[in-house]
């Protein structure tokens, strides 16, 4: 038989089907190996079912095909011998024989043939229909598939959490080894064992695993499998040309194990790729030098960063998380991302266009060298404030000197805090929005998602608390400058 494609559902142990009390199946011949599995159920009354079998079936028959001539002349043993041998040759997993309506009992010659050819034979009682057996097989398959998906999902979550630990590579290996119940090894260039975790395996198996790793690092294939000393082996190449490989040795190998190992391989590819390129080491070195008092211009070469613009980003839809911040960095072409409570700050190489980003409000500084990044950071903050106040998706720093830039920042901030101290945060935001929209009640109400009367009441409250005439242009200008420095 040519090799057939394996169905997407996991196989069902024959023992699980026999354990179903509602079916009342009974094994009366053949091996009782708990490892025997069924991939599907098929009913056929063909004398030669070979052409119709794919392999792994529980073949169900009521014996309609048994010729009466064979019963009469005593050649039933020869007939069943050929019949069972063809099922075995086709890869059938087991045979179920229905008692009634054709036969009162399972023919003795069939029992002997199944014993001789090593095919499990099940007696199907009269009250159990073949469709009921098939339905039970599919129910068990669905349960096994659900358990498999749950196992893979839990493994993915634990591997991702391990990759975020301070020691990501050993943590990922430990989680992988635990999930597959074996040993996981990270091989470096030249086949060196860099790290490993899990249960000890026979030395012969580990030697074969090392050889398998050299196969995938040689780029002839990205994955390879083998079996040695009764242990299932698998190797996965990590990245393109890095020379790293992941080796897994486990007592079993099923689709779930392969999926879990593939997830670990992807995570290790990212981790070893950064290590190989030196990016992670360079960033750590830059951080240490900054902590020890080095100036930004001294550490910028370690990051491969020259003149850059600072970008401040804010999301009005949800608080940014590390994943969203990293995705924004990828969209803007930079790995240099800092996440604070509600603002993401990024260093974007000078000359890179900063386009609008859906779901984000952006403020962009003028390009600056490392020595001027602190000033550029303030520029980006002011640009973001103007963008949020004006409900614009993107605002660039105006290179023309503004009146606010002429004021000492610390003194202006202190004055703003004193001037606006009587206002609550809600009143402050309402005043900021109202001033940015030139005193429009309706536009302010829409921007804040409140009723226009609420806006009127809040602005009146601001005027009372500040003891100021908000219809006076000079008062509005002073309050706007204070809000920009708050």
Q: Above pLDDT 70, what percent of the chain?
A: 88
Question: Is the CB of residue 272 less than 8 Å from the CB of residue 265?
Answer: no
Domain assignment present for 372: yes
- In this prediction, residues 406-416 reach a mean pLDDT of 72
Which of 400, 429, 454 finishes a domain? 400
Residues 191 and 259 in one domain: yes
Q: What is the pLDDT of residues 183-227, one digit of tens each?
A: 999 987 777 788 889 999 999 999 999 998 888 877 656 888 899
Residue 455 sits at φ, ψ, to 5 deg, of: -60, -45
Question: Is the CB of residue 124 less than 8 Å from the CB of residue 110?
Answer: no
Domain assignment present for 199: yes
Q: Which of 233, 245, 248 lies closest to 272, judged by CA?
A: 245
381 vs 113, more confident: 113
Residues 49 and 128 in one domain: yes
SS3 47: coil
- In this prediction, residues 54-66 reach a mean pLDDT of 94
Contacts of 456 (CB under 8 A, 6+ apart): 441
Domain assignment present for 3: no
Domain assignment present for 388: yes
Kindly list the strands in the beta sheet with 308-314, ordered across the sheet, starting from the edge strand earlier in the chain. Answer: 337-339, 344-349, 308-314, 361-364, 394-396
Query: What CATH number should be reported for the domain holding residue 68?
Result: 3.40.1390.20
Domain assignment present for 27: yes
pLDDT at 287: 73
Tokens of 191: 């086949």
pLDDT at 328: 77
Residues 342 and 314 in one domain: yes
Residues 217 and 109 in one domain: no
Question: Is the CB of residue 213 less than 8 Å from the CB of residue 247?
Answer: yes
**Residue 177: enclosing H or E segment and its boundaries?**
helix 168-180
pLDDT at 347: 87
Contacts of 324 (CB under 8 A, 6+ apart): 315, 318, 344
**Rounded-to-integer distance, Cα 367 and Cα 364, Å:** 9
- Which of 59-68, 134-143, 154-163, 237-246 shows the lowest per-residue confidence on average (mean pLDDT)? 237-246
**Rounded-to-integer distance, Cα 173 and Cα 198, Å:** 8
Q: What is the pLDDT of residues 309-359, one digit of tens each?
A: 999 998 876 666 666 776 677 677 777 888 877 788 998 888 778 888 877
pLDDT at 92: 95
Residues 35 and 79 in one domain: yes
Q: What is the pLDDT of residues 364-382, one digit of tens each?
A: 999 888 888 888 888 898 8
Categorize the per-residue pLDDT at 424 as very low, low, confident or very high, splitting at 50, 70 and 90: very high
Q: Which of 148, 172, 128 lies closest to 22, judged by CA?
A: 128
Residues 352 and 371 in one domain: yes
Residues 17 and 110 in one domain: yes
Categorize the per-residue pLDDT at 133 as very low, low, confident or very high, splitting at 50, 70 and 90: very high
181 Ramachandran zone, left/alpha/beta (phi>0; psi -120 to 50)? left
Residues 422 and 377 in one domain: no
Query: What CATH number should be reported for the domain holding residue 194?
Result: 3.30.450.30
Residues 248 and 355 in one domain: no
Contacts of 461 (CB under 8 A, 6+ apart): 427
Q: For the chain, give the mean pLDDT.
A: 85
Residue 345 sits at φ, ψ, to 5 deg, of: -110, 140
- Residue 359: how many other CB atoms lie within 10 Å: 13
Question: How many separate domains does the chain show?
Answer: 4
For strands 40-43 and 57-61, give the pairing: parallel
pLDDT at 1: 40
Domain assignment present for 468: yes
Residues 22 and 61 in one domain: yes
Kindly list the strands in the beta sheet with 183-187, ordered across the sheet, starting from the edge strand earlier in the chain. Answer: 193-198, 183-187, 244-250, 231-238, 223-228
Domain assignment present for 461: yes
pLDDT at 241: 55
Contacts of 88 (CB under 8 A, 6+ apart): 117, 118, 119
pLDDT at 2: 39
- In this prediction, residues 67-81 reach a mean pLDDT of 88
Tokens of 455: 């806006």
Which of 374, 400, 426 finishes a domain? 400
Highest mean pLDDT, choosing among 28-32, 305-309, 393-397, 469-473:
28-32
Note the Cα 393 to chain centre separation in Å: 30
For strands 244-250 and 337-339, give the pairing: unpaired
- In this prediction, residues 434-443 reach a mean pLDDT of 89
Q: What is the pLDDT of residues 138-158, one digit of tens each?
A: 999 888 888 888 888 898 899
Which of 367, 400, 433 finishes a domain? 400
Question: Is the CB of residue 121 less than 8 Å from the CB of residue 29?
Answer: yes
Residues 387 and 435 in one domain: no
Describe the crossing of helices 425-436 and 373-389 by its angle, rounded to 10 degrees. 80
Query: What CATH number should be reported for the domain holding residue 458?
Result: 1.10.10.2840
Residues 18 and 132 in one domain: yes
**Rounded-to-integer distance, Cα 413 and Cα 208, Å:** 68
Structural domain containing residue 193: 164-277
Q: Where are the beta strands (DSSP E) in 299-427?
A: 308-314, 337-339, 344-349, 361-364, 394-396
Q: Which of 436, 450, 329, 344 lies closest to 389, judged by CA?
A: 436
Domain assignment present for 462: yes
pLDDT at 4: 45
């Amino acid at each position: 038989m040519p090799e057939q494609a394996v169905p997407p559902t996991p196989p069902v142990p024959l023992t699980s089907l026999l354990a179903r009390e509602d079916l009342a199946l009974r094994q009366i011949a053949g091996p009782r190996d708990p490892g025997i599995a069924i991939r599907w159920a098929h009913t056929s009354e063909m004398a030669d079912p070979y052409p119709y079998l794919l392999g792994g079936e529980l073949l169900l028959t009521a014996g309609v095909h048994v010729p009466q001539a064979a019963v009469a002349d005593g050649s039933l043993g020869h007939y069943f011998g050929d019949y069972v041998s063809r099922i075995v040759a086709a890869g059938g997993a087991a045979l179920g024989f229905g008692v009634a309506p054709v036969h009162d009992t399972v023919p003795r010659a069939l029992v002997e043939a199944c014993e001789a050819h090593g095919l499990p034979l099940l007696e199907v009682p009269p009250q159990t229909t073949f469709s009921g057996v098939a339905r039970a097989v599919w129910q068990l398959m669905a349960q096994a598939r659900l358990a498999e998906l749950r196992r893979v999902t839990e493994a993915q979550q634990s591997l991702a959490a391990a990759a975020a630990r301070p020691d990501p590579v050993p943590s990922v290996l430990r989680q992988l080894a635990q999930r597959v119940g074996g040993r996981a090894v990270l091989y470096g260039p030249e086949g060196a064992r860099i790290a490993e975790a899990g249960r000890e395996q026979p030395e012969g198996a580990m030697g074969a695993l090392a050889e398998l790793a050299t196969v995938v690092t040689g780029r002839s294939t990205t994955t390879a499998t083998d079996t040695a000393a009764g242990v299932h082996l698998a190797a996965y190449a990590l990245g393109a040309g890095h020379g790293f490989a992941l080796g897994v040795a486990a007592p079993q190998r099923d689709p779930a194990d392969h999926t879990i190992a593939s997830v670990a391989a992807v995570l290790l590819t990212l981790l070893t790729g950064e290590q190989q390129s030196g990016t992670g080491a360079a960033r750590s070195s830059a951080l240490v030098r900054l902590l020890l008092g080095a100036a930004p211009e001294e550490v910028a070469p370690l990051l491969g960063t020259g003149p850059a613009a600072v970008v401040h980003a804010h999301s009005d839809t949800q608080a940014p998380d590390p994943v969203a911040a990293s995705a924004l960095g990828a969209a803007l072409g930079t790995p240099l991302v800092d996440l604070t409570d509600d603002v993401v700050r990024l260093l974007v190489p000078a000359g890179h266009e900063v386009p609008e980003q859906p779901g984000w409000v952006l403020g962009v500084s003028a390009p600056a060298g490392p020595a001027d990044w602190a000033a550029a950071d303030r520029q980006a903050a002011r640009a973001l404030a103007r963008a949020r106040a004006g409900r614009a998706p993107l605002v660039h720093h105006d290179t023309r000197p503004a009146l606010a830039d002429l004021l000492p920042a610390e003194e202006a901030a202190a004055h703003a805090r004193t001037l606006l101290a009587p206002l609550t945060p809600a009143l402050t935001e309402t005043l900021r929005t109202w001033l940015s929209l030139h005193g429009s009640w309706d536009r302010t109400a829409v921007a804040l998602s409140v009723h226009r009367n609420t806006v009127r009441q809040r602005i009146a409250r601001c005027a009372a608390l500040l003891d100021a005439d908000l219809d006076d242009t000079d008062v509005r200008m002073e309050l706007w400058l204070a809000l920009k420095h708050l």
